[in-house]
Amino acid sequence: MLTDRFGRIHRSLRISVTDRCNLRCTYCMPEHTPDYQPRSEILTFEEIVRFVKIAVSLGVDDVRLTGGEPLVRSQLNLLVQKLNEIDGLRKISLTTNGVLLQDQLAELFAAGLRHVNVSLDALDEESFKGATRRGGLDKVVGGIDAAQRAGMVVKVNSIAMRGLTDHQIVAFGEFTRRTGIPVRFIEFMPLDSDGNWNTSAVLSGTEIVEMFSSQIRPLVPIERNGSSPSADYRFDDGIGTVGVIASVSKPFCDSCDRFRLTADGQLRNCLFGEDSGDVRALLRGNASDESISQMIQSAVATKKRGHGTDDLTFLRPSRPMHAIGG
């Protein structure tokens, strides 16, 4: 098992399949196209599958595909299908901005995908454009609807930012009550490419819960589920679920069970750390499974207790969110 110095068992792996994206969210990417990683440096599906098999042999049972935007990676369904064939891998999920979801849904479903988180920050076109610097709200909503109709487990994730989220409370309250899809708000973290993050831009989980309770109806806490970072609530009439992921105001590092593989094959034991192992060099250098396994174990073993964003000596990681994999 992948246990770190603080007794945390790591079962959850996030894999970025690309640093490219078809949106330019203000809290993630720069306005103009950044220098993307050269394609030759991005792991192939075969390399990813080999890595996942080794990780599963060490106790990983949950893989989330992310990016950049994972659905801009050609034929992602083929990767899902290969991962789905790995014994011991209990869950495969996808985090997407949803723009291409409807187009690819049938293939992804056929490949075995059943869990999808769609990121959506606003339910009116103008605010959506303000947040993403692009259009496409209709497509995202269409993708969510199609995934739900196909029988997938769908969640919506929304950034928690002052000036944006506070104007979307009523719309998201109506959305979760009408569709039954949980909406979870993730506090804005210091991982934006533009370096504009500051604490006053973060709308805290506590404020969000208060806003829903006063603007819609009271929220009642739901018992917390294992290592999930989300504190979830249901409206007091049982209709509609809201969650808050308070990564900045109430970090959940004590129960963190994840590590990451970037699109260019670098291990990261924390979103806020730096690269902690060059897996691509091993994969492309004819290394044995044993040496890759050792690299994973040592990345987990050196994980820090917390991400330290509340520490005055905290330094922003050199990679922004889209180049790590959120």
* Residue 211 contact partner, candidates ligand SF4, ligand SAM, none, CB within 5 to 8 A by sort of partner: none
Q: Are 33 and 61 in contact (CB under 8 A)?
A: no
Going residue by residue from 136 to 165, which x/- string records binding to ligand SAM, judged by CB under 6 A?
Answer: ---------------------x-x------
Q: Which two tokens stand for residue 156?
A: 């919506």
Interaction of residue 12 with ligand SAM, rule CB under 6 A: no
Q: In residues, how long is the chain?
A: 326
Interaction of residue 321 with ligand SAM, rule CB under 6 A: yes
* Cα 118 to Cα 141: distance, rounded to the nearest angstrom: 9
Mention every residue, 6+ apart, whose C-beta is less than 8 A from residue 20: 36, 67, 68, 69, 72, 73
Nearer to ligand SAM, 97 or 168 (CB): 97
* Residue 29 contact partner, candidates ligand SF4, ligand SAM, none, CB within 5 to 8 A by sort of partner: ligand SF4
Shortest Cβ 29–ligand SF4 spacing (Å): 4
Binding positions for ligand SAM, 178-217, rule CB under 6 A: 186, 188-189, 191-192
| Cα dihedral value 295, 38, 27, 100, nearest 10 | -100
Interaction of residue 24 with ligand SAM, rule CB under 6 A: no
Mention every residue, 6+ apart, whose C-beta is less than 8 A from residue 145: none
Contact region for ligand SAM (CB under 6 A) — 55-63, 94-102, 212-220, 253-261?
Answer: 94-102
Q: Are 36 and 322 in contact (CB under 8 A)?
A: no
Residues that bind ligand SAM (CB under 6 A): 21, 27-28, 66-67, 69, 95-97, 119, 157, 159, 186, 188-189, 191-192, 321-322, 326
